[in-house]
Amino acid sequence: MSIEHPSFGKLDSSRIIIFDTTLRDGEQSPGFSMNLAEKLRMAEALAELGVDVIEAGFPIASPGDFESVRSIARTVKGPVICGLARTSRADVIRAGEAVAAAERRRIHIFISTSALHMKYKLRMEPDAVLQAVTDSVTLARQFTDDIEWSAEDGSRTDPDFLCRCTEAAIAAGATTINVPDTVGYALPEDMAGIFTMLRERVPGVERVILSAHNHNDLGLAVANTIASVRAGVRQIECTINGIGERAGNAALEEIVMALRTRPDAVACRPAIVTERILRTSRLLSAITGFDVQPNKAIVGRNAFAHESGIHQDGVLKNAATYEIMTPESVGWTKSNLVMGKHSGRAAFRDKLRALGYGEIGDNQLNDAFRRFKDLADRKKVVYDDDISALVDDEVVRDHTRIRFVSLDVHAGSRTKPTAEMELEIDGTMRRAKATGDGPVDATFIAIRSLFPHEATLRLFSVGAITEGTDAQARVTVRLEEDGKMVDGQGSDTDTIVASARAYVHALNKLLVKRTRTEPKELSA
């Protein structure tokens, strides 16, 4: 059966809407905050990936959040741009203003509907919640015809009340009804049962899109989402790499590939350019400083690696013996020898396009090209992964207050480790020299003397991007200040330089965090 939707027109029953909330539910989880430039870069990548809706943020949360949603609405073409709001007038108006410039725009309103949340979190009676649903959706219609309404803690809501709220939202003009499993409590049959019930009991439900939003506290977010689709859901809410509150949200890459791989079981095709999945996942890791674990489905380093002899033998004879999808279908390519130190800028740009970077700005290209030349001088073979790492480094460092310029370190078994550091801070070059208990310690002390701050170093970890002793190191640094935690990443063939870059990255993220007030009442 087809539905007429204000943003998508006529939707036939095999069309599934991919609603990406990496920049909202994902970004609001500890350590994952992004600055404006990073959010814009990520939103462009999501548009290139082919998502249908980008939930760009929660505009009332802070002026920074409002500005990010507004900028994405102005510049990112293709997907519907959505802003989140509670039911208050101020929230809805702020969300409406933030998405106003988008070609297609959505306001997403949520309110808790479970007895537990209404009593302890909202301190509201059910009838007042019902009225708030009607009033807020009615108000939102003044800004756009594309309105989503969510029953927060929907999976633990009394079925009769969920039906009443859904009916009220549809009657007031909501065009998408989302039932979140906010605390990741439900089992697949529970979610399927809820959507089947809504479809059977709520008048007008046939005119709207039902949507699933699952959290991963029991590791069931993807399973719950697939079960919901089989029960008639037409929109899936998800995030890249499954980032999100606590254990995260349902992972976009896993859901999309499950639907692609099993059309026999679920007859829905998302309009995602699956070959861009890995690129998008890596970009998010570079921006946030969080790598996915090696065994992560689809995008983990080992997702297509066959270690055992029996498996390798089978795959060589016929890949289908042990591979249910091809690595290429999600963007994995063989790690190629790319270019040498004599390669020019045009070849470098071509390589970036082949790696899926599209058009990157001239400044970023120049910086990345300079670093590539430097790398090719120092490293015997330069792989695609090396290039991706250094370009991602440049992309995330654009528009930051503190920039790494240079580092010289003197260390060894008979020398007091000394670091000479050069940083550009708010456009001014600064230099400092420091000694420490080791070369990394000396480097971090030098950074502290150039940009004094109180943050505590909580984690320092080093890994290799490719193989061999000349491989680039990828370093992660975690800083904590006033309960706010950020992770930064840096890569270089020199582990100490990679450490300095990672520290500077983390510091820049901390500066963004300092300017931000977290919305007290936003849950999940």
Q: Which residues bind Zn ion (CB under 5 A)?
A: 25, 524
Cβ nearer to ligand KIV, comparing 70 with 215 = 215
Q: How far is the CB of 436 from Zn ion (least distance, A)?
A: 43
Of the candidates 277, 183, 268, 173, the one whose C-alpha atom is nearest the C-alpha of residue 224 is 183
C-alpha–C-alpha distance, residues 442 and 448, integer Å:
10
Total binding residues toward ligand KIV, as defined by CB under 6 A: 9
C-alpha–C-alpha distance, residues 510 and 481, integer Å:
8
Cβ nearer to ligand KIV, comparing 126 with 463 = 126
Sign of the four-CA dihedral 214, 218, 219, 225: negative
- Does position 385 interact with ligand KIV (CB under 6 A)? The reply is no
- Does position 248 interact with ligand KIV (CB under 6 A)? The reply is no
Q: How far is the CB of 469 from Zn ion (least distance, A)?
A: 44
User: Quick one: tokens of 438?
Assistant: 């080791």
User: Quick one: tokens of 389?
Assistant: 């790492």
Binders of ligand KIV among residues 453 to 482 (CB under 6 A) are: none
Cβ nearer to ligand KIV, comparing 27 with 492 = 27
CB 153, CB 181: distance < 8 Å: no
Q: Give the CA angle between residues 482, 483, 484 to the nearest 5°.
A: 90
DSSP 337: B
Cβ nearer to ligand KIV, comparing 195 with 444 = 195
Q: Which of 29, 35, 182, 400 binds ligand KIV (CB under 6 A)?
A: 182
Going across the sheet that includes 456-464, the strands are 456-464, 473-481, 484-492
- Does position 180 interact with ligand KIV (CB under 6 A)? The reply is yes
Cβ nearer to Zn ion, comparing 227 with 524 = 524
110 binds, among Zn ion, ligand KIV, none (CB under 5 to 8 A by kind): ligand KIV
Residue 496, judged by CB atoms within 10 A of its CB (0-12, 13-18, 19+), counts as buried
Q: How far is the CB of 231 from ligand KIV (least distance, A)?
A: 19
Residue least distant from Zn ion (Cβ):
524
C-alpha–C-alpha distance, residues 419 and 408, integer Å:
6
Of the candidates 493, 492, 498, the one whose C-alpha atom is nearest the C-alpha of residue 477 is 498
C-alpha–C-alpha distance, residues 366 and 394, integer Å:
10
- Does position 213 interact with ligand KIV (CB under 6 A)? The reply is yes
501 binds, among Zn ion, ligand KIV, none (CB under 5 to 8 A by kind): none
User: Quick one: tokens of 33?
Assistant: 């905050």
Contacts with ligand KIV, 18-47, as mask; x by CB under 6 A: -------x----------------------
150 binds, among ligand KIV, Zn ion, none (CB under 5 to 8 A by kind): ligand KIV
Q: How far is the CB of 173 from ligand KIV (least distance, A)?
A: 18
Binders of ligand KIV among residues 125 to 164 (CB under 6 A) are: 150, 152
Find residue 434's DSSP bridge partners.
419
Q: How far is the CB of 13 from ligand KIV (least distance, A)?
A: 25
Q: In the block, which residue shows the tokens 């670091």?
A: 419
Parallel, antiparallel, or unpaired: how do β-strands 147-152 and 105-112 relate?
parallel
152 binds, among ligand KIV, Zn ion, none (CB under 5 to 8 A by kind): ligand KIV
Q: Which of 16, 194, 368, 524 binds ligand KIV (CB under 6 A)?
A: 524
Cβ nearer to ligand KIV, comparing 213 with 276 = 213
C-alpha–C-alpha distance, residues 463 and 328, integer Å:
25
Residue 273, judged by CB atoms within 10 A of its CB (0-12, 13-18, 19+), counts as middle
Contacting residues toward ligand KIV, per CB under 6 A: 25, 110, 150, 152, 180, 182, 213, 215, 524
